[in-house]
Amino acid sequence: MFTRAIVRPPARNFAEGLTTAALGTPDYTRALEQHEAYCAALLRCGLTLTRLEPDADYPDSTFVEDVAIVARTLAILTRPGAPSRTGEVDNMRQPLADFFGTVLEIQPPGTVDGGDICQAGDHFFIGISERTNETGAKQLAALLKAAGYESNLIDIRQLRSTPASRTESVPGAVATESLTESEPGAVATGSLLHLKSGLAYLGDNRLAVTDTLSEYPEFASYDLVHVTSAEHYAANCIRVNDHVVIAAGYPKFQSELEALGYQTIALEMSEFQKMDGGLSCLSLRF
């Protein structure tokens, strides 16, 4: 059971953050409304929220998930793969220290984005991506093992084949940023920025998974809820106690979850989707 979450609303310069989505510029007022609805959903699920102040020094800082990994008594600060986000880590140090006795850290040249880390009970799937390199993934696996968790490394770099038009780099990281899409507003349905862009743990030994990940052998022992290519964004959902919080506008996926007995909460996420964000990105839940 989760009891707490850390959230941070988007700053006024939210639209200056990193994105590959080619879905247009987010509306700041609407983003604030959607973030508040997200917080209300977490409260409905029984969580107590720690609300951090907006941070205009880091336009991506509303996506708090990327800078830390939390599980029970374990907290690990990451080292994001995009250099423009490095300072976000220091700003999360004290909020985590308020709840966890020891806060561990990923060390250079390792890079880890929290969006590449999917916890499934006592097991972790660690994505190796354009943002999480192999060195960082192995560091994280070792830290998790010392805390009693098992993990698998899942290489998704081959699923990110569209050319990048903007690059940022750190030692040991793979260059990334804005994709060139085939047409304005198009979304590369087979392309994953992070592992959790196509994967979510629903509890009950069940995973929501996109077609691009469904054949990976690491998921063979789980019951899979397949997310169609037409609804691929819906795969980034979050199980929060008795509910599954999902993005609104994906009726097939919502119907499948409800047929399996899950209570769903559907939230508008359009402004965060424009900035490569999903539901899991907006909170640290523990």
- Residue 45 backbone dihedrals phi, psi, to 5 degrees: -80, 0
Catalytic member of 39, 45, 194, 232: 194
Q: Is 194 a catalytic residue?
A: yes
8 A C-beta contact, residue 128 and residue 160: no
Cα 247 to Cα 211: distance, rounded to the nearest angstrom = 18
Can 281 be counted among the known catalytic residues? Answer: yes
- Helix locations, 23-112, DSSP H: 28-44, 87-97
DSSP E strands in 114-178: the ranges are 117-120, 123-128, 150-155
CA distance 286 to 279: 15
Contacts of 115 (CB under 8 A, 6+ apart): 63, 65, 66, 131, 193, 194, 195, 196, 197, 278, 280, 281
Q: How many C-alpha atoms does 48 have within 13 Å on its Cβ side?
A: 2
Active site residues: 194, 281
